[in-house]
Amino acid sequence: SQDGVRRGVRSRRRFPLISPNVNPEHLALLVKAEWQLSYVTPLYQFRHTQLRSYSRQLAAFIVAEKQQGLAVEVSELHNSYRVSLSVVQGLTESEDDAETVLIQVSMFYSIRDEPQRSVWSGWLTCVHGSPEYLRSLPKDFTCLPLFGSRGPEYLSRVVKSWFQKTFDCCFGSLEINHTSLQWFAALWTDCHSQSHIQHLRMLWTIPAAPPLQITYTVDHQDAWDLWNSVRKGPTAAVAEDAASIDLEEVTGFLQALKSHFYRHFRLDLSAGTLQQVSTAVGSAKSSGRIKVPLVSGVFLLLARLVVFFSFYQIIVKMYYMIDWLKLK
């Protein structure tokens, strides 16, 4: 229910750590690159056991689109594509989460003797998904609500088109809202004791004529001290979950940062909008672009984004039900 999601956002949340079962080579592909995020509705009759077949089908689809001139670039007229879909084992938090799928598109020359090179990468994931929502889905649907891509935009369009036609799903552009960016600021600062964050950098936009952009960089130790000043000690109810964070702590942390800025520059950041947050652990932009420089940040980032989309997925399900009732 919507109330259940709201309660989940307000409650203390503990985010998972990297499983030792995750393939290090797969993780290495996820870090240090910037990914453009999209949301995905549940995939109909998607089977993790059929990835090899899907790889061949997607490669054929890319070639067919290329021949039609829909996905062709002049420099690639004599090139061919190979596609690999593979499972990233262990990048889940519970048995309800579907395994992450990595998609790699490589190009090789059919005439010249040159090695193939990776030209596009993407992934579909569900880490720390809402158990209530996942268990409510019919068995023929697989929920991998988060899609990340990097590479030529025309290949992103072709890959999405194939998934939509094959699994009756929909993709949509993703923006990371002001509240979620505040969560990332707190979550990554909280990682400082395990992973040196180096700094906390935030980009704010202030409504003015013309709009004013402010880059606010806080030293790692100052950010850590400020975070600890608003951090609650674990009570008996959450003693086993001392690594969890609640919304009150997040808002308290951001308010402390804004108050500190106001004391020095007499400018109230509350009038503006947070557009970007970055540390050495990870970065996120309101446009839906993310980057995880460190392996330790992968699970944390994906888990938070999937939690954020649990509410979205429930809204989509409600719209489907409304459309079905209209048809009846």
Last residue within a domain, chosen from 159, 174, 189: 174
Q: Tell me if 124 sits within 8 A of 100, measured CB to CB.
A: yes
| Domain contains 297 | no
Q: What is the pLDDT of residues 240-286, one digit of tens each?
A: 444 577 889 999 999 999 999 999 999 999 999 999 999 988 899 99
Higher pLDDT, 169 or 72: 169
Q: What is the pLDDT of residues 58-71, one digit of tens each?
A: 999 998 888 786 54
| Domain contains 296 | no
96 with 234, same domain: the answer is: no
74 with 212, same domain: the answer is: no
Q: What is the pLDDT of residues 94-150, one digit of tens each?
A: 788 889 999 999 987 655 556 678 899 999 988 777 788 888 899 999 999 889 999
Last residue within a domain, chosen from 270, 287, 304: 287
* Cα dihedral 180/186/187/189 (nearest 10): 140
105 with 214, same domain: the answer is: no
Looking at every residue in the chain, the average pLDDT score rounds to 79
170 with 182, same domain: the answer is: no
169 with 182, same domain: the answer is: no
| Domain contains 165 | yes
Write down the pLDDT at residue 109. Answer: 66
116 with 198, same domain: the answer is: no
Higher pLDDT, 242 or 217: 217
| Domain contains 314 | no
Nearest to 180 by CA among 288, 298, 272, 262: 288
Last residue within a domain, chosen from 150, 174, 198: 174
The fraction of the chain above a pLDDT of 90, given in percent, is 45
Write down the pLDDT at residue 107. Answer: 85
82 with 157, same domain: the answer is: yes
Nearest to 30 by CA among 318, 225, 298, 313: 298
Residue 153: give the domain boundaries: 25-174
169 with 191, same domain: the answer is: no
Q: What is the pLDDT of residues 290-314, one digit of tens each?
A: 888 765 555 556 655 655 554 344 3
How much is the pTM? 0.78
190 with 219, same domain: the answer is: yes
